[in-house]
Chain A
Amino acid sequence: MQTKVTRDRRSIAAQPSKCAGCITCMLRCSFRIDNKFNLSRSRIRVARQSGRDDEFTVSFSEDCDACLICARYCPYGALTATKEDTEG
């Protein structure tokens, strides 16, 4: 699992300190895959860390294709999307 993912000139970087743990990104990710909600199939994972004052960790699975939808729906700006312009 990684905290930044880059695919085909698209990348998403997580800033866990901004994460509030709402798991909207996980739900939106799984919904994008097959129009169904399934937390375990999400390619982004938010986890609450016990014993570390409830900080959240944010990571991406190997099969994440950096579609950027998680960043678009993150309410707290914890996911930064970058898309390189391929034209010209």
Chain B
Amino acid sequence: MQIGGYAGSILYVNLTDGGIRKQSMDEEVVKQWIGGAGINTKLALDLIPPGTDALSPRNAVILGTGPFNGTFIPGASQTMSMYKSPLNGSFPQSNGGGNFSHFLKSSGYDHLVITGRSPWPVYITIEDDNVSLRHASDVWGMDGYDAADELRLRHSPCSIIPIGISGERQVAISVTHIDKAGTIGSGGLAAVMGSKNLKAIVACMGSRTVEVAEPDRLKRLVDEILDKVNSYHLRPEMIGGGSMAMTRDWMPPGIVSRNSSELIPYPSNVSELKPQLYELHKAARKKIACATCPMSDKDRIDLPNGRTIYDTAVFMEMAAMTYSPALGYAAEGSTADRYALALQYYDLINRLGLDRVYNFQGLADFIITLYEDGLINKAITGGLKLDRSYETLIKLVRITANREGLGDILADGVLSAARHIGNGAEELVQNVVKGQFIAFDPRMSGFLPMHLGMLVHPGRTLGVAAAMGAPSYSPGWPIHELVKHAERCGVPAEDMGRLFTRDSFNPGRLAKHGEDFFGLFNMLGQCHRLYISRFYSMQTLASLYSAVTGIRASAADLKSASTRMWNAWRGLNASAGYTHRDDLPPAVWFKPLKSPAQEYRLYDYFLKSELSRGDVESYLEEYYAEREAG
């Protein structure tokens, strides 16, 4: 294949018979689907029949890179995954950072497709044409980080996607991490790997080349982007404090608790505690960056108590949780003690491989609430007294990851747990869409394009997909900032009238264009985190794409390609049984969220009007109409 930016091949591994096959990429497929999530969607359509059992050998683990991976474009770090989810039967579009995409391409592969089931635990190593299935019995049983450490000792230089205990136990709310940094595979990628007896995928440094069509133009474009990166006024602080530096000023009023019915406010002195937490964090943190990332948001933290922990980005909110009694994030003690304990919780959950944000956090609160309300007792919990202490939280993590007792009930997610418990528990599931929790309750913020995204995406609630810019993450920005955001997402001038009035906008219609922008990042292999994506527009991506591939493509051409991908992906999920009915907002959004001081109700973006169910459903209708408009 003569298109720049691609390694040129797809690697197929069948774990049942050990078959390994390399296939050249088809130029027409590459032009139409671009790469990453695009070609992953095409492969999933071709290879995973709609009725496939997610934990059967017929399911495929599809990993993909895009044409930007392997180059030095800032933030070109992402590996995209697709598979059928054991949590909700959808086809998640999940991506993570680290160095895997670059190392896979260094061996000559753009995509990797793993099917079948090995008779015994194995891990895969990939180094040029040497692709091996190796016995993994000595790493089976290790947590994800220990397994990564051990495999790195054996195969360095390399990049590693291991699974933790929850993957081995086929826990449906499992995730995993690339290089102990980038979270990937919400909705149970790790469980799918576990069902295949696959402990890890190791991409070693190969000897292959990635060529680009217009090297000088690419250099010029990258230099322009780096000029913007280097002059970004928040960057020096970000390098020191990581994601926490970017979220120092962002704090919700408290933590949603008791099954989405109450808001537990932070203590009144939280604004005094935040600087203490930030200073602790900065002093303890060593920065880790994904490939080509100039922002380094991954954290290795040397705690004051001597332990070293990792997280994929510690936000201020996570540290401030140490002062909330909502869900036992921390025991009592000094600020340093609380910070250390909270981070040890994040470390444990990452090591064992549970999805905290969109599953475990809400699930733990749900089961504790049922216990507090007398709907379950020690006969169900296996003798465990469930309270909101740190110790209970840690126990719940461990038993869920290991499928022990009550943990076996929790391991398949909140809908499955509620069905199992019965006694009316199913009717009590709230703030859940397609089997996963809405992590950012819109009653606390106002309804954002992000929340529309959280309704419509099967699989992990990828609200960020519909956001992709500060004005769509937080409420009340002036309308001209939203227009600027839409322009950045590539909305043509003639379409603006559908999205905006003089003083307002339609979040459903805007969300569709945020998705197109986001989708293109996932097709190209580019990181979409706010502090990277801020340096890009649809036009910048089109210029880079042309320089890398040699294909003349305008911003409009790439936007159309992304629209095609989204529509095909939505079709894939429709084949798994998803309909518009599954997009409907949870009933709890239209009930008050109560805190001691006030009630929070669902308001519009400008926090002027309370929204009814009919209002949100009309946003959804507008979203569908915009998507059909192309």
B403 within 8 Å of A (CB atoms): no
Q: Is the CB of A27 within 8 A of B71?
A: yes
Partner of A51 from the list B71, B153, B157, B290 (CB cut-off 8 Å) is B153
Partner of A36 from the list B102, B209, B289, B308 (CB cut-off 8 Å) is B209
Q: Is the CB of B72 within 8 A of A73?
A: yes
A50 within 8 Å of B (CB atoms): yes
A67 / chain B contacts, CB cutoff of 8 Å: none
A49 / chain B contacts, CB cutoff of 8 Å: 156
Question: Which residue of B is nearest A56, CB measured?
Answer: B288
Q: Is the CB of A21 within 8 A of B288?
A: yes
Question: Which residue of B is nearest A45, CB measured?
Answer: B157
Q: Is the CB of B289 within 8 A of A22?
A: yes
B157, B229, B302, B310 interface centre (most CB from chain A within 10 Å): B157
> Which of the candidate stretches B15-23, B291-299, B416-424, B436-444 sits at the interface with the other chain?
B291-299
For the complex, give the distance between the alpha carbons of A5 and B70 in Å. Answer: 26
Closest-CB distance, A63 to chain B (whole angstroms): 16
Question: Which residue of B is nearest A52, CB measured?
Answer: B149
Partner of B207 from the list A27, A38, A48 (CB cut-off 8 Å) is A38
**Do A23 and B291 form a contact, CB below 8 Å, given A47-B157, A50-B149?**
yes
A68 within 8 Å of B (CB atoms): no
For the complex, give the distance between the alpha carbons of A84 and B502 in Å. Answer: 60
B99 / chain A contacts, CB cutoff of 8 Å: 21, 23
Q: Is the CB of B293 within 8 A of A35?
A: no
For the complex, give the distance between the alpha carbons of A10 and B179 in Å. Answer: 34
Q: Is the CB of A50 within 8 A of B152?
A: yes
Partner of B150 from the list A27, A40, A50, A73 (CB cut-off 8 Å) is A50
For the complex, give the distance between the alpha carbons of A39 and B99 in Å. Answer: 12
Q: Is the CB of A27 within 8 A of B208?
A: no
Interface residues on chain B, size class:
35 or more
For the complex, give the distance between the alpha carbons of A76 and B102 in Å. Answer: 20
Closest-CB distance, B355 to chain A (whole angstroms): 23
Q: Is the CB of B207 within 8 A of A40?
A: yes
Partner of B239 from the list A24, A27, A54, A76 (CB cut-off 8 Å) is A76
Please report which residues of chain B, range 193-252, place their CB below 8 angstroms from some CB of chain A when the two chains form the complex. Answer: 205-212, 215, 219, 226, 229, 239
For the complex, give the distance between the alpha carbons of A38 and B74 in Å. Answer: 17
Partner of A28 from the list B72, B152, B205, B239 (CB cut-off 8 Å) is B72
Q: Is the CB of A37 within 8 A of B179?
A: no
Q: Is the CB of B179 within 8 A of A48?
A: yes
B156 / chain A contacts, CB cutoff of 8 Å: 47-50
Q: Is the CB of B71 within 8 A of A21?
A: no
Partner of A37 from the list B209, B289, B308 (CB cut-off 8 Å) is B209
Question: Which residue of A is nearest B300, CB measured?
Answer: A54
B562 within 8 Å of A (CB atoms): no
**Do A36 and B239 form a contact, CB below 8 Å, given A23-B102, A23-B291, A50-B153?**
no
Closest-CB distance, B575 to chain A (whole angstroms): 37
- State the total of A-B contacts with C-beta under 8 angstroms: 99
For the complex, give the distance between the alpha carbons of A21 and B74 in Å. Answer: 13
B153 / chain A contacts, CB cutoff of 8 Å: 50-51
For the complex, give the distance between the alpha carbons of A41 and B208 in Å. Answer: 9
Closest-CB distance, B138 to chain A (whole angstroms): 15
B106 within 8 Å of A (CB atoms): yes
Partner of B296 from the list A22, A40, A54 (CB cut-off 8 Å) is A22
Question: Which residue of A is nearest B105, CB measured?
Answer: A37
Q: Is the CB of A48 within 8 A of B152?
A: yes
Partner of A22 from the list B106, B152, B209, B293 (CB cut-off 8 Å) is B293
A51 / chain B contacts, CB cutoff of 8 Å: 149, 153
Please report which residues of chain B, range 571-616, place their CB below 8 angstroms from some CB of chain A when the two chains form the complex. Answer: none
Partner of A38 from the list B208, B215, B293, B308 (CB cut-off 8 Å) is B208
Q: Is the CB of B288 within 8 A of A54?
A: yes
Q: Is the CB of B205 within 8 A of A37?
A: no
**Do A22 and B210 form a contact, CB below 8 Å, given A28-B72, A39-B205, A51-B153?**
no
For the complex, give the distance between the alpha carbons of A28 and B310 in Å. Answer: 28
For the complex, give the distance between the alpha carbons of A45 and B156 in Å. Answer: 12
For the complex, give the distance between the alpha carbons of A34 and B71 in Å. Answer: 13
Closest-CB distance, A53 to chain B (whole angstroms): 5
Closest-CB distance, B461 to chain A (whole angstroms): 29
B293 / chain A contacts, CB cutoff of 8 Å: 20, 22, 75
Question: Which residue of A is nearest B77, CB measured?
Answer: A22
Question: Which residue of B is nearest A55, CB measured?
Answer: B286
Question: Which residue of B is nearest A32, CB measured?
Answer: B219
B564 / chain A contacts, CB cutoff of 8 Å: none
Please report which residues of chain B, range 96-130, place their CB below 8 angstroms from some CB of chain A when the two chains form the complex. Answer: 99, 102-103, 106
B287 / chain A contacts, CB cutoff of 8 Å: 20, 76
B180 within 8 Å of A (CB atoms): yes
Please report which residues of chain A, range 38-80, place their CB below 8 angstroms from some CB of chain B when the two chains form the complex. Answer: 38-41, 45, 47-51, 53-54, 73, 75-76
A41 / chain B contacts, CB cutoff of 8 Å: 207, 209
Q: Is the CB of B210 within 8 A of A38?
A: yes
Partner of A27 from the list B72, B211, B308 (CB cut-off 8 Å) is B72
For the complex, give the distance between the alpha carbons of A6 and B521 in Å. Answer: 40
A35 / chain B contacts, CB cutoff of 8 Å: 211-212, 215
29 examples of A-B residue contacts, CB within 8 angstroms: A21-B288, A22-B289, A22-B296, A23-B99, A24-B72, A27-B71, A27-B102, A27-B292, A28-B72, A31-B72, A31-B215, A35-B211, A35-B212, A36-B212, A37-B212, A38-B207, A38-B208, A38-B209, A39-B102, A39-B103, A39-B106, A40-B207, A48-B156, A48-B157, A48-B179, A51-B153, A54-B180, A75-B293, A76-B287
Given contacts A20-B289, A39-B106, A45-B157, 7 further A-B contacts (CB under 8 A): A21-B289, A37-B70, A39-B205, A40-B206, A48-B179, A75-B229, A76-B296
Q: Enumerate the 5 nearest inter-chain pairs by beta-carbon distance, A residue then B residue, closest first.
A: A50-B152, A20-B289, A75-B294, A22-B289, A35-B215
